[in-house]
Amino acid sequence: MDDDAVLVFSRTTGFRHDSIADGISAIRDLGAHHGFAVDATESAAAFTPDNLHRYGAVVWMSTSGDVLDDAGRAAFERYVRDGGGYVGIHSASDTEYDWPWYGGLVGAYFRSHPAIQDATIRVEDRTHPSTAHLARSWNRRDEWYDYRATPRDRVHVLASLDESSYSGGGMGGDHPIAWCHAYDGGRAWYTGGGHTRESYTEPPFRAHLLGGIRYAAGLT
């Protein structure tokens, strides 16, 4: 397994975000500046054991719907069990609802969202590589997901939303928005940010992504 390379997977069979190309470009740029190679694909055919083991992490870039067949699912499960990394961005949580193993990997499934607006994020872990650069409060504009259930009892929460800072949040006082965990032999990291094209030009958000990728790929 090559820790110095990542695969960005952006297949969608549901809603398609117009920020996907921006996200791929940002990750390519991060790789060029921080020493890891980046390949990108929309093809489920890339999910074979031999191909996946070329990468330290697979980034699910705003995927949606059912994106893998049974063979691809089996290959990805094997990859993670062999120590591979998973990075989920935004609607990666709106993906593969009928694959329980993936539900455990991503940590929580999407439920709903209000309009795009500014909100305050409470940074709970300021030592993790994806949040160490942030102050305790992080104010930014995005589309803020509610999840079907809080993942807090299953993951390590890195940051959560202050629902008093925006309108339409539906999870109450415990609203995780970024988290990580060891899972079935591998490492998983997820952020709910990344809906807007502007997200991928924001230095703090790009540093957030970089830290998540480095964590998942075992580079930290």
Res 2: pLDDT: 60
Instruction: List, in sequence order, every residue forming a beta bridge with 147; answer none if it has no partner.
Output: 110
Which pLDDT does position 208 carry in this prediction? 98
Q: Structure tokens of 98?
A: 């009928």
Residue-wise burial string across 80-102, b where 16 or more C-beta atoms lie within 10 A, e elsewhere: beeebbbbbbbbbbbbbeebeeb
Asked if 131 and 122 touch (Cβ cutoff 8 Å), the reply is: no
Residue 159 near residue 122, CB atoms below 8 Å: yes
Query: Which region holds residue 177: left if phi is over 0, alpha if psi is between -120 and 50, else beta?
Result: alpha
Q: Please give the average pLDDT of every successive group of 10 residues along the chain, which has 220 residues.
A: 86 98 98 97 98 98 98 98 98 98 98 98 98 98 98 98 98 97 98 98 98 95
Asked if 141 contacts 196 with a C-beta cutoff of 8 angstroms, the reply is yes
Interatomic CA distance for residues 143 and 146, integer angstroms: 10
Q: Determine the straight-line distance between the first and last CA of the chain, rounded to whole angstroms.
A: 16
State the Cα–Cα distance between residues 219 and 85, nearest whole angstrom.
10
pLDDT at 3: 67
